[in-house]
Amino acid sequence: MVNDLNPVGLNDDGNTLTIGAGGITVNSGAFAVTLSPSIVLSAPQTWTNNGGSTLTVGSSATSVSNGANLLTIAGSGATTITNFNGGTGGLAVSNSGGASNPTVTLGGTIALSGAQTWTNNSSNPLTASGAIVNGGNLLTIAGTGQCGPQWNN
């Protein structure tokens, strides 16, 4: 949980950060959070950004891997994930009600190591700005929100 009024960063030191079921929470009023090491999810979880700045996860030299665990993005703030390696767990963008609609951007190379579903129920589009390498795996786009700019569900 982040409440800091200064930007918070965790640099890539060559080690992998494993995040459990508690996920990531950036509270309202917190500044930018940048997590640059490779990240592995060990359980289904939610990353919530209610801060006024972007939650940035991953870098051009690292990746974010969810394996068989569903990653849900929630909150009112923007979240950018670089080099998402999606297993079978999938990705969900949650509209938690009211004006809380996250903006999610997947950048870098997006690799699918298993068939998965990306569900967007936010009024903001789920954007993939990088190359998607599906490896022959099925990607299903679902939900009430847009996936774009190149997709529409």
Name the average pLDDT for the chain: 87
Per-residue pLDDT at 131:
84
Low-confidence winner among 47-56, 79-88, 93-102, 121-130 (lowest mean pLDDT): 93-102
pLDDT category at 151 given cuts 50, 70, 90 is: very low
Q: Flag whether pLDDT at 82 surpasses 80.
A: yes
Q: What is the mean pLDDT of residues 45-54?
A: 91
Per-residue pLDDT at 152:
37
Asked if 76 and 98 touch (Cβ cutoff 8 Å), the reply is: no
Q: pLDDT digit string (tens) for 58-77?
A: 998 999 999 999 999 998 88
Low-confidence winner among 58-67, 89-98, 108-117 (lowest mean pLDDT): 89-98
Show me where the domains of the chain are located. 8-141
Residues ≥6 apart with Cβ < 8 Å to 83: 58, 59, 60, 62, 63, 64, 107, 108, 109, 110, 111, 130
Q: Flag whether pLDDT at 9 surpasses 50.
A: yes
pLDDT category at 7 given cuts 50, 70, 90 is: confident
Q: pLDDT above 90 covers what percent of the chain?
A: 46
Which pTM value belongs to this model?
0.89
Cα separation of 19 and 144, whole Å?
28
Tell me the longest C-alpha to C-alpha distance in the chain.
Answer: 44
Asked if 18 and 42 touch (Cβ cutoff 8 Å), the reply is: yes
pLDDT category at 96 given cuts 50, 70, 90 is: low
Q: What is the CB-side half-sphere exposure of residue 49 using CA atoms within 13 A?
A: 22
Per-residue pLDDT at 83:
93
